[in-house]
Amino acid sequence: MFRVIVFLVGIFGPLAIWIGVQIATERNIVTPRSMYRVLRIWHWISWIAAVLLWVCYLPPIHLKWFYGGCAATFSAGLGLAQYWLKLRFNPSDLTTTPKHEA
């Protein structure tokens, strides 16, 4: 049962996040720049977690390979949401910091 939950979170978690990002940006709840930054940070955190889970598959620890695969799938899904955000908005607006007028 736990494996099914991990699998569903790995597949449908990024889809739910993507829908949330779309709704939040359409209703101007958050700025695209802040959402892009958050997605980028979580994309890298989940990618590092996936690599660590794959390393745990090696003989001394021997964790199941399934968990690393689900974490890698989650990371890839966040990358797709990040890519959509970059296509939807101007990439220079997402990566530059705003200029404050004095």
Q: pLDDT band at 98, cuts 50/70/90?
A: low
Instruction: Output the pTM of the full model.
Output: 0.73
| Pairwise CA distance, residues 51 & 15, whole Å | 21
For CA atoms 73, 79, 81, 83, the dihedral sign is negative
Choose the weakest-confidence range: 4-8, 34-38, 93-97. 93-97
Cα–Cα distances in Å, from 25 out to 18, 28, 48, 67, 69?
11, 5, 27, 31, 30
What is the mean pLDDT of the segment spanning 76-100?
A: 77
| Pairwise CA distance, residues 58 & 28, whole Å | 46
pLDDT for 25-84, tens place per residue? 888 888 888 888 888 899 899 899 888 888 887 777 767 777 788 888 888 888 888 888
* Longest CA–CA separation in the chain, Å: 60
